[in-house]
Amino acid sequence: MIGVFDSGVGGICAFRRVRELMPREDMIYLADRKNAPYGTKSEDEIRALTERNIKLLRGLGAEVVLIACCTASSLHHTLCPEAREISIPIIAPAAALAAKVGKKIAVIATHHTATSGAFGREIGRLSDAIVFEMSEQPLVSLVEKGSRDGRVTEECREYLRGLRDRISATGADTLILGCTHFSHLEKEIGGLLPRVKIISPARVGAEELFKKIKAHRESGRTIYM
Ligand code: DGL
């Protein structure tokens, strides 16, 4: 069984992509709404919630857990070994793709992810692209309040117009939706920035999980990680 978690609805974008790639796999989704948002919490709090979520999903039968939350993924390397070993973070694969295609990369993320510099660090290991890490925490609650699946509230539309101006001001050729909640607005954001390449860690992370599971199965091993 595959476990997927986020603080709320953001990780559903990753969950759907995993479903498309592995329709026969048993899956379980955890939305930790009680403790949302994660992006304004301290590192210690986010780490504790992440370890708890992985343990919970494992207890429910998950053999592998996709951390469909960039905020939690930014702390993957600091998790306890039991949690680290069975989980897949989503920042590194998205950063690797951005490093390949972008020269000026804007990252919109939660307060924690943006200030941690996690995307910039990963990209910096692979390329000399310029990275702009932008905290766009209010967009998380706009998505939670219902701006998704083709519906965008006027409040959210207005926020997106300001966001377009902030991103345009950086001159970025590539944009990372560095919080999985923002993947729900990929079409709208893409429409506002038609010349910018958009990378969704939710999607790239799901594809990374698929590759890892496939490789493990081909190697004849029964466990995923
Ligand atoms: N969707 C999450 C992320 O990718 C967290 C949003 C939040 O709870 O602040 O970072």
Tens digits of pLDDT across the chain (225 residues): 999 999 999 999 999 999 999 999 999 999 999 999 999 999 999 999 999 999 999 999 999 999 999 999 999 999 999 999 999 999 999 999 999 999 999 999 999 999 999 999 999 999 999 999 999 999 999 999 999 998 999 999 999 999 999 999 999 999 999 999 999 999 999 999 999 999 999 999 999 999 999 998 888 776 555
Alpha helices by DSSP H, the chain: 12-21, 43-59, 70-73, 81-85, 91-101, 111-116, 118-124, 138-144, 154-170, 186-192, 201-218
Ligand 1 pocket test: which of 4, 5, 34, 110 has the largest number of ligand atoms within 8 Å of its C-beta?
A: 110
What spacing in Å lies between the alpha carbon of 221 and ligand 1's midpoint? 33
pLDDT score at 173 = 98
Task: Judge if the beta carbon of residue 36 lies within 6 A of ligand 1.
Answer: yes
SS3 102: coil
What spacing in Å lies between the alpha carbon of 41 and ligand 1's midpoint? 11
Task: Tell me how many degrees the CA angle 152-207-88 measures, rounded to the nearest 5.
Answer: 100
Catalytic annotation on 179?
yes
How many alpha carbons lie under 13 Å from residue 35 in its C-beta half-sphere? 19
Residue 180's identity, in one-letter code, is: T
Structural domains in the chain, sorted by start: 2-90+204-218 (3.40.50.1860), 92-201 (3.40.50.1860)
- pLDDT tens-place string over residues 86-127: 999 999 999 999 999 999 999 999 999 999 999 999 999 999
Q: Tell me which DSSP letter residue 162 carries.
A: H
pTM of the model: 0.96
Catalytic annotation on 13?
no
DSSP 164-185: HHHHHHHT-SEEEEESGGGGGG
Within 10 Å of residue 160's Cβ, how many Cβ atoms? 20
How far apart (Å, rounded) are the C-alpha atoms in residues 4 and 39?
A: 18
What spacing in Å lies between the alpha carbon of 217 and ligand 1's midpoint? 31
